[in-house]
Amino acid sequence: MTTAPSDDHLRFPIGRAELPTGPLSSAERTAYTEQLAALPAQLRAAAREVGGQALLQPYRPGGWSGRQVIHHLADSHLNCYTRYRLALTEDNPTIRPYDEKAWAELPDVDATPITVSLLLLEALHQRWTILLQHLTEAQWRRTFYHPGLEREFTLDEALALYAWHGRHHLAHVESLGRR
């Protein structure tokens, strides 16, 4: 007998994020940066495979639609890119959290074609990966403070987190094509 996947598996299809416990190695940084660089093309391919109508469906009961996930990735990764720039130019800046759920429900999410957010992600990730490839060892140790999570993040930790974040939501979109 086949059982339905648990809500936790639907919500976290690649597992929960695991942050590094110390500085990343050069090889780890390269691997995570490559994951970020590859995400826009992978997301575009997944969206194309899933198709327009299926992207209107939630990836799990009570979850976001594929369309909302794609727009969320653009919003979230733009915020993280900004957090990197703040951390590189200020001493441990306190970043501005935002209500992701409320952003996913704004009217532009339904009105804007997903191709706009896919193009934004493509350009953003090109710019972001160039920045990442040029950071010094000291710059990787720079931090920002997230008041919503009440913790400091190093740029290494943020890299691992956002590489996971992209794969996490890519898996959500891909799951819509398997239904």
Give the pLDDT band (50/70/90) at residue 1: very low
In a domain, 166, yes or no: yes
What is the distance between the alpha carbons of residues 170 and 175, in angstroms, rounded to a whole number? Answer: 9
Say what the pLDDT of residue 5 is.
54
- Structural domain range at position 171: 46-177
**How many domains does the structure of the chain reveal?**
1
pLDDT tens digits, 49-88: 999 899 999 999 999 999 999 999 999 999 999 999 999 9
Task: Write down the residue that tokens 């653009």 correspond to.
Answer: 74
In a domain, 105, yes or no: yes
In a domain, 161, yes or no: yes
Global pTM value: 0.94
In a domain, 56, yes or no: yes
In a domain, 12, yes or no: no
Name the phi and psi angles at 152, rounded to 5: -95, 145
What is the distance between the alpha carbons of residues 94 and 101, in angstroms, rounded to a whole number? Answer: 21
Between the alpha carbon of residue 128 and those of residues 23, 56, 62, 77, 122, the distances in Å are: 19, 29, 32, 9, 10
In a domain, 13, yes or no: no
Among 176, 179, 174, residue whose Cα is nearest residue 45: 174
In a domain, 162, yes or no: yes
pLDDT tens digits, 130-151: 999 999 999 999 999 999 999 9
The tokens describing 63, both together, are: 């979850």
Which CATH number does the domain housing residue 146 bear? 1.20.120.450
In a domain, 23, yes or no: no
What is the distance between the alpha carbons of residues 154 and 89, in angstroms, rounded to a whole number? Answer: 14
